[in-house]
């Protein structure tokens, strides 16, 4: 038996307890919880078949009462001794995609990001569309290309046409970008024809992950009219390996910024679900932005209410992302197209002037939030390295 050591100030202390799927060499992927710098193997520690599975989906589908009960059991377990065989150093495990992604939706819930992108993509129009403050704008993405942190990202090929070019050409993306986002994972789904009110957010959503919604800005700018993002964003979306339970985010709850005009009744929240989460974006090791989640205009409860208001059903494993997180300040922008203002204001990275991503570049997004016991809890990170496009480097 052993006591799991939790280093002083660890972002993975008892207030966090995020879930993931891990394996050790020669063993099958199974469910674990991060505690300090260790992974607690739940299949061993709790001896339940539901944790011996390669995804969190079966456990998430058991519902909110079980999430509370299992969290209490883990809390009690790590306060004492656990079997040696249930503990692995995190450095010695492989982390897998933690859940099977059912449907994937991406929203556009930052007023600052939407305003900046409006100015960049539609310089002759009002930056915010007339619908923006009345409903959370979003689009359905591609669940099959959601990958776990650490997966290499191949530069996509596609059609691109700069404004001064007469016709499109085909080839590797020349304006490859990131989008720093938070993603919400549905634990218990809802029936076709039954909208999910804001009040049911906390019992239906299991937890949150970091998301990097890789974006090919040149492909996007040419293809998106009038139906929205398609191939410019569907080639890969990276998520962090640890799912932070919503139960761990109680201390991070804050009101959203004031919503004026007042939203329609189905979008009104009783209890606020803004979240005081601080993100950080590192580009080849240089910190280039600190996007603040608390600045997001629409809360994740409102996003779920909107996603289902037409009667669309949801399923265990549905992932819906907040949209790029940008604050009012320049160094709070969650995408390089905003940080470099469309490539016109380069950033210095390792002695060279950079605008969009080059082959070999690595981006790491991390985040922390206040935890219940006065510590800060961590989301870990979502990372990805750009590899050359199929058919050759750009
Ligand atoms: O304004 C546009 O045309 C495009 C906006 C985006 O690319 C943003 C997007 O994918 C949603 C988001 O992450 O906020
Ligand atoms: Ca996005
Ligand atoms: Mg994407």
Is residue 4 in a domain?
no
User: For the chain, how big is the Rg over CA atoms in Å?
Assistant: 21
pLDDT at 212 over 70: yes
CATH code of 337's domain: 3.90.850.10
- Rounded to an integer, the average pLDDT of 73-78 is 98
d(CA 274, CA 284): 30
Q: Please, where are the H alpha helices in 273-354?
A: 300-308, 336-339
73 plus 23 within the same structural domain? yes
Integer Cα distance of 154 and 108 in angstroms: 25
Asked if pLDDT for residue 394 goes beyond 80, the answer is no
Predicted pLDDT of residue 391: 83
Q: What residues make up the domain containing 87? A: 19-95
Residues sharing a CB contact under 8 Å with residue 25, sequence separation 6 or more, in sequence order: none
CA distance 313 to 216: 30
Asked whether residue 11 is assigned to any structural domain, the reply reads no
Give me the phi and psi of 347, to 5 degrees please: -110, 145
Domain contains 143: yes
300-324 pLDDT, tens per residue?
Answer: 999 999 999 999 999 999 999 999 9
Does residue 8 lie in a domain region? no
Q: Is there a single domain that holds both residue 65 and residue 163?
A: no
Total of domains in the chain: 2
Q: What's the 162 CA to ligand 2 centre distance in angstroms?
A: 21
CB-count exposure of residue 195 (10 Å: 0-12, 13-18, 19+)? middle
For 123-151, give one letter per residue: b (16+ CB within 10 A) or e: eeeebeeeebbeebbbbebbbeebbbbeb
Q: What is the pLDDT of residues 97-149, one digit of tens each?
A: 999 999 999 999 999 999 999 999 999 999 999 999 999 999 999 999 999 99
Based on the domain organization, do 335 and 276 belong to the same domain?
Answer: yes
* Inside any domain, residue 14: no
User: Are 87 and 2 within 8 A, CB to CB?
Assistant: yes
Query: What's the number of CA atoms in the CB half-sphere (13 Å) around residue 297?
Result: 25
pLDDT score of 135? 98
Last residue of a domain, one of 44, 67, 95: 95
CATH assignment at residue 69: 2.30.30.230
Work out the angle at residue 13's Cα, subtended by the Cα atoms of residues 10 and 15, and round it to the nearest 5 degrees.
Answer: 130
Where residue 325 falls (left for φ over 0; alpha for ψ -120 to 50; beta otherwise) is beta
Task: Find where tokens 């992974």 sit.
Answer: 39
For residues 236-257, give the mean pLDDT: 98
> What's the pLDDT at 163?
86
284 CB-contact burial (10 Å; exposed 0-12 / middle 13-18 / buried 19+): middle
User: Which of 77, 95, 113 is where one domain is finished?
Assistant: 95
Confidence of residue 392 (pLDDT cuts 50, 70, 90): low
Nearest ligand to the C-alpha atom of residue 139? 1
Tens of pLDDT, residues 162-179: 889 999 999 999 999 999
Q: Say whether pTM exceeds 0.95.
A: yes
Same domain, 40 and 134: no
The residue whose CB lies within 8 Å of the most ligand 1 atoms, and thus the one to mutate among 107, 110, 113, 119, is: 113
* Residue ending a domain, choose from 95, 113, 145: 95
Q: Do both 24 and 74 map to the same domain?
A: yes
pLDDT value at position 37? 98
For Cα atoms 322, 326, 328, give the angle at the middle one, nearest 5 degrees: 140
Q: What is the mean pLDDT of residues 270-297?
A: 97
Residues 192 and 310 in one domain: yes
- Answer yes or no: do 115 and 190 share one domain: yes
- Residue whose tokens read 């099959």: 144
Residues of the chain with pLDDT > 70, as a percent, come to: 99
267-282 pLDDT, tens digit per residue, is 999 999 999 999 999 9
When the pLDDT of each residue in the chain is averaged and rounded to a whole number, the result is 97
Do 87 and 169 have their domain in common? no
pLDDT band at 344 (very low <50, low <70, confident <90, very high): very high
Could you tell me if residue 185 is inside a domain? Answer: yes
218 to 20, 79, 156, 178: CA distances (angstroms): 35, 52, 11, 13
Q: Which residues are catalytic?
A: 113
- In 36-110, at which residue ranges do the beta strands (DSSP E only) sit? 38-41, 87-89, 94-96, 104-107
Residue 299 lies in a domain: yes
Both 86 and 130 in one domain: the answer is no
Provide the 3-class DSSP secondary structure of residue 226.
coil
Longest CA span, the chain: 70
Q: Ligand 1: which residues within 6 Å by Cβ?
A: 106, 108, 113, 117-118, 121, 179, 181, 213, 215, 224, 229, 323-324
Q: How many CA atoms lie within 13 A of 34 on its CB side?
A: 32
| The pLDDT of residue 199 is above 60 | yes
Is residue 192 within 8 Å of 315, Cβ to Cβ? Answer: no
Residues 192 and 133 in one domain: yes
The answer on 167 and 54 residing in a single domain is no
For ligand 1, atom 2, name the residue with the nearest CA. 117
Whole-angstrom distance, CA of residue 43 vs CA of residue 52: 5
Index of the ligand 1 atom closest to the CA of residue 138:
11
30 Cα–ligand 2 center, Å? 30
Whether residue 392 lies inside any domain: the answer is no
Q: Would you report the helix, strand and coil content of the chain in percent, each value rounded to 5?
A: 25, 30, 45
- Clarify whether residues 235 and 136 are in a common domain: yes
């Amino acid at each position: 038996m052993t006591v799991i050591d939790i280093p002083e100030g660890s972002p993975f202390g008892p207030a966090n307890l995020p879930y993931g799927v891990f394996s050790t060499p020669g063993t099958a992927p199974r469910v674990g919880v991060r505690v300090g710098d260790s992974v607690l193997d739940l299949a061993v520690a709790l001896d339940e078949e539901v944790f011996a599975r390669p995804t969190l989906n079966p456990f998430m589908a058991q519902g909110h009462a079980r999430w509370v009960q299992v969290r209490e059991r883990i809390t009690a377990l790590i306060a004492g001794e656990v079997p040696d065989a249930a503990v692995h150093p995190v450095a010695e495990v492989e982390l897998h995609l933690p859940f099977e992604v059912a449907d994937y939706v991406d929203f556009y819930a930052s007023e600052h990001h939407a305003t900046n992108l409006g100015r960049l993509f539609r310089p002759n129009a009002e930056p915010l569309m007339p619908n923006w403050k009345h409903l959370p704008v979003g689009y359905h993405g591609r669940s099959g290309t959601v990958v776990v942190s650490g997966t290499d990202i191949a530069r996509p090929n596609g059609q691109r046409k700069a404004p001064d070019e007469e016709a499109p050409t085909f080839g590797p993306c020349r304006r490859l970008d990131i989008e720093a986002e938070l993603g919400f994972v549905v634990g218990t789904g809802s029936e076709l024809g039954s909208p999910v009110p804001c009040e049911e957010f906390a019992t239906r959503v299991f937890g949150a992950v970091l998301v990097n919604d890789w974006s090919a800005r040149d492909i996007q700018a040419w293809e998106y009219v009038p139906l929205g993002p398609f191939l410019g964003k569907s080639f890969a979306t990276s998520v962090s390996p640890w799912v932070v339970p919503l139960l761990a985010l109680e201390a991070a709850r804050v009101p959203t910024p004031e919503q004026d005009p007042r939203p329609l009744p189905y979008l009104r929240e009783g209890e606020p679900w803004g979240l005081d989460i601080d993100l950080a974006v590192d580009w080849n090791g240089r910190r280039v932005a600190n996007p603040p989640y608390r600045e997001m205009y629409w809360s994740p409860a409102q996003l779920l209410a909107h996603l289902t208001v037409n009667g669309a059903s949801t399923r265990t494993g549905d992932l819906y992302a907040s949209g790029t997180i940008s604050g009012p300040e320049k160094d709070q922008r969650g995408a390089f197209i905003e940080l470099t203002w469309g490539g016109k204001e380069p950033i210095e990275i390792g002695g060279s002037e950079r605008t969009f991503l080059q082959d070999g570049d690595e981006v790491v997004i991390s985040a922390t939030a206040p935890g219940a016991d006065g510590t800060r809890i961590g989301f870990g990170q979502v990372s990805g390295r750009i590899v050359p496009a199929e058919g050759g480097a750009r």
